């Protein structure tokens, strides 16, 4: 594990990142979670994680700190847990595709949203379609709790692929959307 010494990985907006970033900032301003001028603050709107460890990393800055391989590894570890989980949870994913399908599509979505460029074709329409038509059985409190627990377990087991900067895990675990 290494500390972040600035951006090690080149970034660019993807199909989803710019809109999600803007929506998140707007909602966070409305809830007084970010300052009113956050849309103009370089350390917030940049896709590059700030070097100052007292400044939080936004989820759209994660690619700059981690790069592709750790993100794919985290997603792979998560879906290995999903496909080993109880049938009520696993079956929803298995019906859509095998573990490789989920790793590829979700890694693409994460990289896109985290500042790695345009990887998740179809963007929000595709995401909404899958949640509405393929995963509707899990879009409830029970499914959210199980997903969250599997993600926490994944992150606990993935510390070797993340940097030792504590802002990384915080940014992955708590990107709670201020509109909720």
Binding-site residues for heme, in ranges, read: 130
Q: In angstroms, rounded to a whole number, what is the distance separating the alpha carbons of residues 145 and 136?
A: 15
Alpha-carbon Rg of the chain, whole angstroms? 16
Q: Which segments are annotated as binding site?
A: 130
Look-up of token digits 């909404």? 128
HEC states along 17-56? Answer: HHHHHHHHHHHHHHCCCCCCCHHHCHHHHCCCCCCCCCCC
The DSSP code for 57 is P
Indicate the burial class of 37 (C-beta count within 10 angstroms; 0-12, 13-18, 19 or more).
Answer: exposed
């Amino acid at each position: 594990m290494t500390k972040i010494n600035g951006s090690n990985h080149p970034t660019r907006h993807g199909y989803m990142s710019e809109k999600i970033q803007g929506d998140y900032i707007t909602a966070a301003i409305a809830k007084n979670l970010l300052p009113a001028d956050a849309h103009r603050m370089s350390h917030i709107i940049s896709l590059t994680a700030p070097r100052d460890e007292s400044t939080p990393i936004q989820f759209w800055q994660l690619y700059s700190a981690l790069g592709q391989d750790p993100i794919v590894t985290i997603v792979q570890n998560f879906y290995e847990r999903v496909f080993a989980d109880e049938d009520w949870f696993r079956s929803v994913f298995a019906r859509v595709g095998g573990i490789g399908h989920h790793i590829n599509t979700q890694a693409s979505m994460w990289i896109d949203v985290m500042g790695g460029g345009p990887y998740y074709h179809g963007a929000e329409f595709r995401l909404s379609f899958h949640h509405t038509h393929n995963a509707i059985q899990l879009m409830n409190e029970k499914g959210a709790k199980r997903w969250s627990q599997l993600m926490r377990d994944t992150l606990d087991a993935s510390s070797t692929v993340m940097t030792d900067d504590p802002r990384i895990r915080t940014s992955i675990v708590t990107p709670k959307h201020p509109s909720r």
